[in-house]
Every structure is written in C-alpha cells, then in structure tokens.
Amino acid sequence: MTARPLTKSRFKLALECPTQLYYAANRDYVDRNADNDFLQALADGGYQVGELAKFLYDSDPIASGITVDSLDYAEALAETNKRLAPVFAPGADRPVVIAEAALASRNLLVRVDILRADPVSRVIEVAEVKSKSVDRDTVERGFRKDSGYESVWQPYLYDIAFQTLVAERMVETLGLVGWSVQATLVLVNMEAAAKLDGLHQNFAITGLWNEQHRRYRIQVATPAGLTADALDLDLLCPVNVTAIVADLRHRPVPSPHAPEDKRSSLETFVDWVTGLQLGGQRYFGAVSKACKKCPYRASPGEGLSGVNECFDEAVRSGILATTRNVSDPATPLSIDLWGGRAGARSMADRVLASGRAALADIRVEDITPRQINQDEPGMHALERRLAQIETAQRSAVAFKLDHAALAEMDQWEWPLHMIDFETTAPAIPFFAGMHPYQLVAFQFSHHIMERDGDGIRIRHANQWISTQAGHDPSIEFVRALREALMPDGELLGTVFRYHNHENTVLRGLRAWLSHPDNAQPDSEELIDFIDHITHSTKKELEQHTGTKDMVDLHSLARRGYVSRCAGGSISLKHVLPAILHDAPGVAQRYSKPGVYGPGLGIPSKNDWGPNGQVWLTPQCNGDPYRNLPSVFGPDFGPLDDMLFRLMDGDDDEDGPSISQGGVAMMAYNYTQFARLGDAERRGIEQALLRYCELDTLAMVILVEGLMQLRAMRGAISG
C-alpha cells in the first residue's frame, strides 16, 4: 500500500466507516463498489447535470475552456494554481471560473466540480454539483428535519463541508487576507418542467475507457458555440449552504464506527482520518447494520473479505460470540438475516446487539417481535427468518416451503403471463414538459405458460423496445403491452409481475394519460386496460383494484419459499439460482442445448443460434445471468463486468433495489446520450432484449421450480 492524501472519496468512505480506508487502499480486498459512482452517474445522467451546471457560471464554458481535464492530480493541481494566480495578484478585478479544479492543503486533496474566485468580493465559491433532486420546501427547511439534518442529505452536506475545509486551509496557507469561502450545492430542481425537447442531446457521451489510467472517465461533447441562452438552466437549483457548513463544523460527525473523541468536530475527524490514511493503519471500531451494505465483502474464493475480517475481530475482542468460522466468506453472517417487515428497527442491529456473529447463532428470542401481524396466508416475517436460520444450522435442510402460501397456485387461471418492464428516469428530461426523474418506459418482455394436456408449454411470446433518440416511447409501450396481453380484445389467464415496479409504472402512465393536456385518440381504451390489470397506489386518492390485477410473485416467494442459496434475499436475481439449485429437474432442462430458442421446444423471439441458448453451463456457477452476452462489447474495456456488478446488488429490506434494472437503464440512457451508428444501436438493443427476456424467463423458472418442489416427497411444510 502506498500512502496518499485524503481525497474527497476517501473522506466519504471514512464517514461510513473508518475501517474502509484500509480496505480501499489495499487492492487485495474485494471492492464491490469499484467504479460505482461512475456507473450511477452514467445511469441517471449525472455527467450531463455536471456539464449543464457549468453554464450557470460561464455563458460559454467550452469557448472559455474552464475545465481542467487532466486525471493526474499533480498536473491538475499545477494547472489550477496557474489559473488562480492572476486572481490573487494585487489589482486583479476579473473573476475566474475553473471546473474540475484541484485544491490541496495539509495532506488533503479535492477535485472541485466548479470553483469561482472573485478578486473584487474576495470570495472563493466552491460548488458541488449533484444529480439529486430537491424541492423548495427542503431548501427552505435547510435540509433539516426535527432537530438535525435529514440523513438522506448528510452525505452531500458533509461532502461540500470537506471541500470547504480544504479551500479554507488553502486560503490560510497562501496568506490571502480578507478572503472567504462560500459553499454551494447545485442540485436538480424537481419542481421544474423541461422547456426544451432533446436538451440532453447537447451533452453527448463520446468517451468511456481511459487506457493510460486504466479507469473510466466520461467525456461529454458539448457543441461549440452553445451558450447559456440556448439552455434550460431552471432545471438546476443552486443552494448557498455556507451557513450549514459552518454549523456542521462544530457538530459531532455522524461516523458511527469512529471513536467519540475523534468525531467531536469536523476538523478533529478529518485530522484523525488523515493520519489513518497516511499511516496505512487499519482501525477497527465496531460492527453494525452498515456492514450489511459494505462493499468490501468477498464471495468464497474471490479474494480478501473486509467484512469477514471485521466480524472475526469482533469475535476475538468479545463484542460478538460464535461457534462458526466467521472469517470464512462461505459462512452466513448474522447481518444476512432477512430484514423485511421489521418496522423501524433494523434486524441486523437487533441480532448484533444480542452478540450474534453468524446466522446460525441467532436464537428465536433475539428476533421475536412484540406482536405478529399476518393478514395473508403463508410465512409471516418471524417464520421466514426462523426458516432462514434453520437452513444455516442444518446442512440437510436446503430449503423450506410453506404449503398454505403456495396453495394459491392451484387457483391461478391459465394461461400464465409473465411480464417485466425496463424503464428510466433521467435527471435531465429527454422531452419538453417532463420533470426531472420522470419515468420513461421503453421495453417489456412477455413469456406465456400454457396447459398442454398433462404438461406445460412455455414460449417467449412478445417483446418490445424503443431506443430511438428524441422520441418518448411510453404511450406506444402501453399500446404494445395491451396488444401483447389482449390480442383479441380480451385478457385470458393471469398476469404476473415480480414486486411493485410494473404496477407503479402503469399507474404513473395512467395518471399521465388522464391529464387533459396529454389526451390520446385511444386514451380511454388504454386507461381501461391499465385499470384492468393494476391496483391504485397509496398516493392515489381513489382506491381501485383491477378485475385482473397482476399477481406478485415476489410476495409469493416471500411467504412461501426460503432457500439457503438465496442468502436471505428475495430479489429475483438471487431467487433464480436458488430455485435452479433446489429443483434439479428444472435445472436439467435449461442445461441442455436444443431446448430454448427460435423453433425449439421453448421458442424465443431472439436468435440464440442453431442450438439455442443453454442457460446453465459449468462456467456460470448456477446463475443464468452470467451466460448473457455483453451489452457494449470489447471496445469499452471491462464495462460489461462493471454492469454485471451493478446487477449483483441485493434487495432493500423489503424489496428489490433499482440495481436490478440498472443495466437496462444505463444502456438505454447511453443510446439517448451517445451519438451512435445504426449498427451500434442495434447491438445494444439486441443485448437489452436478451436481458429482459431472461427476467421473464426467470419468473417462469420460479413457477416451474415451485411446482416441482411442491410435488417432491419430503418437502418441509411451514
């Protein structure tokens, strides 16, 4: 490990947990968040927000050349100092604006999104641009709730506070008498509606992989001559947070694993963390629910696992107890306990407070709630957790079923329709009238399961996608979905989704169609269709449940199926390999060539080659998603590997995270931002069609697997 200054990204790691500094500096540790900021910014349009923000500070930032492009910190620092020197000279009267400015002081180093130094007012403005949306009420409340700052805003506020501290120390070091630092957060105005079509296309992506530095760097190509007058800057919301930063300087820093005396103030914390960073020291404070989302956790055989090292140290120091080897990444930890439907208190914190290190150590009294509420058949939350613990304690128990929950499968009306949507919600709206982060539906897949004598016939029946730049596909999406499910004007059978996304998407599109300004020739027909297969959300004033309301397979899995192989998760990405492991008969079918593809036993809408697609191979380690073709191809370095990591995220406490659709969202946004040729666009489209196809096939496989497990002798009843 080589000692390096404390940067903005390392400061943010230390806020979450100071131990992460050591793991981040040692590349032998697995880091599941490597390049995560890059992926997230590419997924939601954060790079475009950053480019748009430059026009707030310079009417023509391209002509003015305000950006410091070098990735090398020393070069960037030298260039920044060169540009600032005239501003600090006696008699200077013209401000300077620098994007990606590098500031350093006392072993601290930051790249500032936008820096403005004004020699007349003697103010250095440090602006941090974030693609997070904000409303007027939040700004007026000063990002506060009750007695403190809202937890969702704390990382952003401490980010700009750290940069302000570095800037102030620089001013002090340079002896700039009378100069002060202003802190600004530039956010996305969620209350604004776009005034222009295709605003995002002014910020096209032209570069990704930097071979010299072996890292990703977005290059956004803004047309020469583009000025602020031609843009919609009302979509941005600059907020002066100087007073908030001053307040944070004297508050205890919310880094729960740091010693209390080291987090008494921002400067105390920064100086302590800087020492850890420079010394390469591994500090261990505690374990908590935050460990559940720590990126430094390896799978067996993958590399060093920071989380397992922390749990092992917690056992050795007497914080936790166990009879299991928690240093082994194969050992399920107590924080792996499913945390859904637990109310306000984290289940991870509860079991850690009881001193449990491994999942198998947890006792029923550790997790029994005061009251059990069960309003639907099947396992309630406690029973699900106990079933998960039992599969960890007893190697002979690979899975558990609850037959009361699964009995509803007998009542399903056939045929069974499995549908999955892909959507995006860009920070910079693609079309006039759209708000930031307004949803755009651009793709769906549809599998059908039909009775065929004593057997079942499966087919990939329909798929639809639109990646045309500058075109809103959402209404065509609804029309195509209606045609897929009701080709003869009547819906036969039962429609299935996995969790809430599909219902939420359709209800949102219904609200849009219901607005008089958005009337379509077939609005009434489309609204009736949506009402037929959905139910109203909690936000809607009028409650409604469709005659053919979609069935949620996520709910069925939560109440009826627990597998050791799913690791406590109910996300489809984890349930699919689990059901294939537990139902070998189903797995055998998808391990053979000549079964799945056009003209084969299970026909597909996509061309998988003459022998079809083999979903389970020795190389995929039981996970069909690993057999999908690349989205971007070899010209983009290891971007596809990064995309797969984005897919690999676990669900939230009670449902899938956005990462499950992150691949499609990112790829679609790329088709909207990048200048693509027809062949490139078709290649990305074909890859997206295959990804979505597997999502609905996964639902089919889950149903097949549950049917087989129910029929197996010795299946354990809940």
Same-domain pairing of 542 and 577: no
Pick from 547, 522, 524: nearest CA to 535: 547
Q: What is the pLDDT of residues 365-406, one digit of tens each?
A: 999 998 887 778 999 999 999 999 999 999 889 999 999 999
> Does residue 206 sit in helix, strand or coil?
strand
683 or 699, which is more confident: 699
Three-class DSSP category at 489: coil
Same domain, 591 and 536: no
Is there a single domain that holds both residue 131 and residue 243? yes
237 and 267 co-located in one domain: no
Looking at residue 106, what is its pLDDT?
87
379 found inside a domain: yes
What is the number of other CB atoms lying within 10 angstroms of the CB of residue 72? 12
Asked whether residue 716 is domain-assigned, the answer is: no
Strands (E) located in 23-159: 96-105, 108-118, 123-134, 144-145, 148-149
Find where tokens 């059978």 sit.
493
Does one domain contain both 7 and 78? no
For residue 642, the SS3 value is helix
Domain identity same for 149 and 116: yes
Distance, CA of 157 to CA of 143 (rounded, Å): 9
Could you tell me if 625 and 649 are in contact, meaning their C-beta atoms sit under 8 angstroms apart? no
Same domain, 567 and 675: yes
If we measure between CA atoms, which residue out of 716, 710, 717 comes closest to residue 585?
A: 710
440-452 vs 455-465, strand pairing mode = antiparallel
**Which pLDDT value is given to residue 221?**
84
Distance of CA 539 to CAs 181, 535, 551, 606, Å? Answer: 42, 12, 20, 38
Q: Are 608 and 598 a contacting pair, CB within 8 Å? A: yes
Tokens of 646: 């984005």
Alpha helices, H only, 471-522: 474-485, 501-514
Mean of the per-residue pLDDT values of the chain: 91
Please compute, for residue 629, the number of CA atoms within 13 A of its CA located in the half-sphere on the CB side. 17
* Sequence-distant (≥ 6) Cβ neighbours of residue 27 within 8 angstroms: none
Asked, for residue 406, whether it belongs to a domain, the answer is no
- Assess whether 3 and 119 both reside in one domain: no
What b-and-e string marks burial along 210-238, b requiring 16 or more CB atoms within 10 Å of the CB? Answer: eeeeeebebebbbeeebebeebbeebbbb
Task: Convert the pLDDT of each residue in 410-439 to its tens digit.
Answer: 999 999 999 999 999 989 998 899 999 999
pLDDT bucket at 177, cuts 50 / 70 / 90: very high
Res 489 pLDDT > 70: yes
Confidence of residue 659 (pLDDT cuts 50, 70, 90): very low
Look at residues 517, 425, 545 and name the one whose alpha carbon lies nearest to residue 474: 425
Model confidence at 658: pLDDT above 70: no
Q: Which of 307-321, 424-438, 488-502 has the lowest mean pLDDT?
A: 424-438
Domain boundary pick from 552, 569, 603: 552
Please enumerate in sequence order all residues whose Cβ is within 8 A of that of 563, keeping only pairs 6 or more positions apart, or say none: 391, 398, 399, 575, 578, 579, 581, 582
Strand, helix or coil for residue 336: helix
Among the candidates 513, 532, 552, a domain finishes at 552
pLDDT at 676 over 50: yes
Cα–Cα distances (Å) from 296 to 26, 141, 279, 304, 678, in that order, read: 11, 36, 20, 8, 40
Domain edge (last residue) among 228, 249, 270? 249
Q: Is the pLDDT of residue 710 over 60?
A: yes
Residue 693 C-alpha from the chain's centroid: 21
Query: What is the structure's pLDDT at 214?
Result: 61
Q: What's the rounded Cα separation, in Å, for the pair 561 and 579?
A: 9
* Confidence check: pLDDT of 122 > 90: yes
Least Cα distance to 664 among 375, 436, 467 occurs for 467
Express each pLDDT in 469-480 by its tens digit: 888 899 999 999
pLDDT at 447 over 80: yes
Q: For residue 127, list its beta bridge partners.
A: 114, 184
Least confident piece of the model among 80-89, 452-461, 680-689: 680-689
262: containing domain:
1-34+256-285
The dihedral over CA atoms of 546, 547, 553, 554, expressed in degrees to the nearest 10, equals 30
Q: Which residue has the higher pLDDT, 78 or 539?
A: 78
Say which DSSP state 31 is in.
-
* Residue 344, pLDDT score: 81
Q: Show the tokens assigned to 490.
A: 């009547």
**Residues forming beta bridges with residue 184, ordered by sequence position:** 127, 240
Distance CA 601, CA 606 (A): 14
Helices (H) and strands (E) in the chain, counts: 24, 17
Q: Which residue has the higher pLDDT, 209 or 465?
A: 465
**205 three-state secondary structure:** strand
Q: What pLDDT does 1 receive?
A: 44
Residues 274 and 229 in one domain: no
Interatomic CA distance for residues 461 and 597, integer angstroms: 12
Q: Is residue 407 part of a domain?
A: no
Q: Strand pairing of 215-221 and 236-240?
A: unpaired
How far is CA 420 from its chain centroid?
A: 18
Residue 67 lies in a domain: yes
Instruction: List pLDDT tens digits, range 252-305.
Output: 999 989 999 999 999 999 999 999 999 998 999 999 999 999 999 999 999 999
Q: Report helix, strand or coil for 398.
A: coil
CB 143 within 8 A of CB 150: yes
Q: Which residue has the tokens 């790329």?
A: 670
In a domain? residue 408: no
The answer to whether residues 511 and 605 belong to one domain is no
Question: What's the pLDDT tens digit per position in 35-92?
Answer: 666 666 667 778 899 999 999 999 999 999 999 999 899 999 999 999 999 999 999 9
101 three-class SS: strand
Q: Which of 189-203, 325-339, 483-497 has the lowest mean pLDDT?
A: 189-203
Name the nearest CA neighbour of 207 among 360, 47, 12, 410: 47
Q: Assess if residue 404 is contained within a domain.
A: no
**Eight-class DSSP state of 126:** E
Q: Are residues 565 and 704 in the same domain?
A: yes
Considering the domain boundaries, does residue 108 fall inside one? yes
Answer yes or no: is pLDDT of 715 > 60: no
Prediction pTM value: 0.92
The number of domains in the chain is 5
Of 22, 19, 21, 2, the C-alpha closest to 10 is 21
pLDDT at 454: 87
Residues 480 and 608 in one domain: no
> Whose structure tokens read 């489809």?
572
Q: Please state whether 592 falls in left (phi above 0), alpha (psi between -120 and 50) or beta.
A: beta
In this structure, the strands spanning 148-149 and 144-145 are antiparallel
